[in-house]
Amino acid sequence: MQNGVQKWVQKGSFDYMAPELKRVKPDYSAKSDIFALGMVMYELVDGGHAPLDFVAIMKRCIDEDPLKRLTLQEIVNAFPVVYRVHDTGDGDQIEIEQGYSANEEFKMGLKFYYGEEVDVNLAEAAERIRKAASMGDMEAQFLLGVIYKDGKGVLRDYVKSAEWFQKASDQGYVPALTNLGLSYRDGVGVPQDYSRALDLFKAAANQGDDRACCNLGWMNMHGLHIEKNNQEAVLWYRKAAERGFAIAQINMGAMCALGYGVEKDYKEAARFISMAADQGHFEAMYKLGHMLKEGHGVPQDVEKGVKYWRKAANKGHVNAQYYLGMATLTGNGVRKDNQSGRKHLKEAANQGFEPAQYMYGLLNQAVTK
């Protein structure tokens, strides 16, 4: 490697000026700075005992042809690992410590978190993501906050969760603003502060975060720290709903059906609920089932309504399980089937739904008599 840079070394000192800058008519470009960066990298390791990929990057940085030099982004991407240079305590000698970059640690953490290419290992995922977060990766900081909130791979710690959401928020990571707002709204990990929550939700909503829009709508509906204002709630719900956010579409459907903040309009309510149901949201499918059964905003179609209840029930929606069970027991919109009806009621009863527990109990009493 020394031969590659020796021509730029004069009388024991490094010449950081790119060759194109020494011409009669200097030709500066960003690649001129890359040359200087390469020389700095060489000086740091004093030309010796550097990892081979580190050497290869340096050589490409100091190529005589500016067009052949790496860009800054290419340099960053070229390092699958990070090399940390530090003194050994022995004069001018240094050592290079190798470790994964924040980006690589985060990617490895995600693989363990979701079980991609490896078995799911939440503890390993949390440790990898923690390393990336400690190196300043804002996505890792956000996800680490979620990990501490949910207690996945670590002991649940709401204080640490809020701290990591704060770190990611400080870097401008929009989803973290919303999560930090939720922490302040609910007083989880931080003292409850509706004013702070409102500011965080507004900051995120103004940058297009749909969850923040929904939370702003919710705070306006309930008058938390602000005067109750259903019109303002509708404004924020509509923004997110029109961008396709299913929860906002459900909320808009409810506002239209109840006439909160807008004229009561079942047809418009059904339109919003249908959009969310088409995305597979089980609450929307359950609600659309009722609208079809009653003919609210849509032509009455009990059979189609029961089909939507079935879709929601298959996703574990307890109310849908109950109504599907009752419809199946009575043959309303579906073929009568006592065994299937009992099964759906039992599913709802096992989730603690009291009407289902009551009906299932009555059925069992009838069988034993």
CATH number at residue 120: 1.25.40.10
Task: Looking at the structure, tell me whether residues 59 and 36 fall in a common domain.
Answer: yes
DSSP string for residues in 271-333: HHHHHHHHTT-HHHHHHHHHHHHHTSSS---HHHHHHHHHHHHHTT-HHHHHHHHHHHHHTSS
Task: Looking at the structure, tell me whether residues 65 and 18 fall in a common domain.
Answer: yes
Predicted pLDDT of residue 13:
45
Task: Looking at the structure, tell me whether residues 69 and 113 fall in a common domain.
Answer: no
**127-180 pLDDT tens trace:** 999 999 999 999 999 999 999 999 999 999 999 999 999 999 999 999 999 999
Task: Looking at the structure, tell me whether residues 7 and 93 fall in a common domain.
Answer: yes
Examine the fold and report which residue of 192, 212, 236 is the final residue of a domain before the chain moves on. 192
Predicted pLDDT of residue 56:
77
Predicted pLDDT of residue 39:
85
Task: Looking at the structure, tell me whether residues 91 and 12 fall in a common domain.
Answer: yes
CA separation for the pair 106, 112 (Å, rounded): 10
Examine the fold and report which residue of 41, 70, 100 is the final residue of a domain before the chain moves on. 100
Question: What are the 10-residue block averages of pLDDT along the chain, 369 residues in total?
Answer: 47 67 85 87 65 75 88 71 53 53 88 92 95 93 98 97 97 96 98 97 97 97 91 97 97 97 97 97 97 96 97 97 96 94 96 94 77
Structural domain that includes position 6 = 2-100
pTM: 0.72
Assigned domain for 204 exists:
no
362, 322 in Cβ contact below 8 A?
Answer: no
Predicted pLDDT of residue 27:
87
Task: Looking at the structure, tell me whether residues 12 and 79 fall in a common domain.
Answer: yes
Assigned domain for 273 exists:
no
CA separation (Å) from 313 to 285, 320, 331, 349? 9, 5, 17, 13
Examine the fold and report which residue of 100, 134, 154 is the final residue of a domain before the chain moves on. 100
Assigned domain for 126 exists:
yes
CA separation for the pair 302, 296 (Å, rounded): 12
Predicted pLDDT of residue 208:
95
Task: Looking at the structure, tell me whether residues 86 and 110 fall in a common domain.
Answer: no
Task: Looking at the structure, tell me whether residues 47 and 93 fall in a common domain.
Answer: yes
Task: Looking at the structure, tell me whether residues 96 and 33 fall in a common domain.
Answer: yes
Predicted pLDDT of residue 21:
85
Predicted pLDDT of residue 46:
59
Kindly report the backbone phi and psi dihedral angles of residue 190, in degrees, each rounded to the nearest multiple of 5, phi listed first. -145, 160
Task: Looking at the structure, tell me whether residues 12 and 81 fall in a common domain.
Answer: yes
**273-318 pLDDT tens trace:** 999 999 999 999 999 999 999 999 999 999 999 999 999 999 999 9
Task: Looking at the structure, tell me whether residues 39 and 96 fall in a common domain.
Answer: yes
Q: What is the CATH number of the domain that holds 51?
A: 1.10.510.10
Assigned domain for 206 exists:
no
Q: How far is CA 277 from the centre of its chain?
A: 22
The domain tally of the chain equals 3
CA separation for the pair 125, 154 (Å, rounded): 10
CA separation for the pair 241, 263 (Å, rounded): 17
Q: Which two tokens stand for residue 317?
A: 């929606």
Predicted pLDDT of residue 29:
87
175 CB-near residues (< 8 Å, 6+ apart): 142, 168, 204, 209, 211
323, 359 in Cβ contact below 8 A?
Answer: no
Assigned domain for 238 exists:
no
Assigned domain for 291 exists:
no
Assigned domain for 200 exists:
no
CA separation (Å) from 151 to 76, 161, 163? 33, 10, 15
Task: Looking at the structure, tell me whether residues 111 and 83 fall in a common domain.
Answer: no
Assigned domain for 210 exists:
no
